[in-house]
């Protein structure tokens, strides 16, 4: 059921979606430890990357060469996109992903991300520039279209395949939907039917049941998980075990869960520095506490503590609790 992506065989096509401010190196490392076919970095803006603006070059440098990591780039001009791809390749990247799906106004306002679906000819020039600049597998992540009147993902995917793209990921919403409503997995089938390269389904896939339904409706070759991984870095491995029969992960509970979270917290502080790391860590700590329904007062203490030692002291009381049973819909 797997497929080849360049010289890498993807035996278990369950991938981690790129999420700004979330899929940083510490989180990607943790997800990979449990098992993931591919993890995708946070999006790098090619223009900022080339001018070495703080916070962009570092994202590619840290983790680009890790075997199961794809580095995602975005932009609006072929030249900078091609040069950014070459630089990322020189850093040791194994896969380069082109972002044409981000719906954020600050991205689409600069004619990047999903705004490129409104100008397929220009989008193709960007794809050709990146694919022609490197010998690495180039992939594309996009949406169904700009809005319901322009669902042109099948046409864009066909053009991308012709330009050398090796895999397409489709989020089952239009740009104008942002993240509202439900992902239309069945609509992804038209993209699958338009190309011969693997198509990956994305959007609202939060566990084994939703992954199986998405695969059935879309006919996709695999799934990409975003929000379903929040507070559950083992989620991709669970999905893979259910669908592809890979070894099931040992999901930590009690003291083991506390230790995992403490180690993740320490990794974020080391990666970002104490001040920024403390702020970035709060969302992850919040998701971990959601899993065990930490009492509100204790939750506030953890999330407002400024000293790393204070956070670590509180984690045992906050997290050494039975996990709360949740439906997949609630997990989203």
Catalytic residue, from 10, 87, 102, 130: name it: 102
Query: CA 312 to CA 314: how far, in whole Å?
Result: 5
Query: CA 76 to CA 127: how far, in whole Å?
Result: 11
Q: Write out pLDDT tens, residues 42-53.
A: 888 887 777 766
Among 24, 88, 14, 21, CA closest to 50 = 88
pLDDT for the residue numbered 330: 38
Residue spans of the chain under pLDDT 70: 1, 52-62, 103-112, 178, 326-332
Q: Which residues of 105-132 are buried (b: 16+ CB within 10 A; e: fewer)?
A: eebbeeebbbbbbbebeebbbbbbbbbe
Tokens of 31: 């997800």
Tokens 């962009």, residue located = 56
Query: CA 73 to CA 194: how far, in whole Å?
Result: 24
Active site includes 176?
A: no
pLDDT for the residue numbered 314: 97
Query: CA 151 to CA 155: how far, in whole Å?
Result: 9
Helix or strand or coil: residue 196? coil
Task: Report the DSSP beta bridge partners of residue 200.
Answer: 169, 222
Q: Which residues of 76-98 are buried (b: 16+ CB within 10 A; e: fewer)?
A: bbbebbbbbbebbbeeebbbbbb
Helix or strand run (H / E) with residue 4: strand 3-5
* Coarse DSSP helix, strand, coil percentages of the chain, rounded to the nearest 5 percent: 50, 15, 35
pLDDT for the residue numbered 331: 42
Helix or strand run (H / E) with residue 235: helix 235-244
Q: To the nearest 10°, the Cα dihedral for 294, 300, 305, 309?
A: -20
Report field, pTM of the whole predicted structure over 0.85: yes
């Amino acid at each position: 059921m797997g497929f080849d992506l360049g010289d890498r065989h993807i035996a278990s096509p369950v991938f981690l979606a790129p999420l700004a401010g979330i899929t940083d190196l510490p989180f990607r490392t943790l997800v990979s430890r449990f098992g993931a076919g591919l993890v995708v970095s946070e999006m790098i803006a090619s223009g900022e990357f080339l001018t070495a603006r703080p916070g962009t070059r570092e994202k590619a440098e840290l983790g680009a060469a890790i075997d199961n990591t794809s580095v995602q780039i975005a932009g609006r001009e072929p030249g900078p996109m091609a040069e950014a791809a070459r630089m990322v390749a020189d850093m040791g990247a194994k896969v380069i992903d082109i972002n044409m799906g981000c719906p954020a106004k600050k991205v689409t306002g600069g004619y990047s991300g999903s705004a490129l679906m409104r100008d397929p000819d220009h989008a193709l020039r960007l794809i050709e520039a990146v694919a022609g600049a490197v010998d690495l597998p180039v992939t594309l992540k996009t949406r169904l279209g700009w809005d319901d009147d322009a669902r042109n993902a099948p046409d864009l995917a066909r053009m991308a395949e012709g330009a050398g793209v090796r895999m397409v990921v489709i989020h089952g919403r239009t740009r104008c939907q942002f993240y509202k409503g439900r992902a239309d997995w069945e609509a992804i089938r038209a993209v699958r039917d338009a190309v011969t390269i693997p198509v990956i389904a994305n959007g609202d896939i939060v566990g084994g049941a939703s992954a199986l339904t998405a695969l059935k409706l879309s006919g996709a070759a695999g799934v990409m998980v975003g929000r379903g991984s929040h507070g559950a870095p083992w989620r991709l491995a669970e999905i893979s075990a259910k669908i592809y029969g890979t070894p099931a992960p040992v999901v930590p509970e009690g003291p083991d869960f506390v230790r995992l979270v403490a180690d993740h917290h320490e990794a974020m502080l080391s990666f970002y520095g104490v001040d920024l790391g403390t702020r970035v860590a709060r969302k992850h700590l919040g998701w971990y506490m959601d899993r065990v329904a930490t009492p509100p007062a204790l939750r506030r203490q953890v999330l407002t503590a400024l000293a790393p030692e204070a956070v670590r002291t509180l984690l045992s009381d906050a997290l050494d609790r039975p996990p709360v049973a949740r439906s997949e819909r609630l997990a989203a």
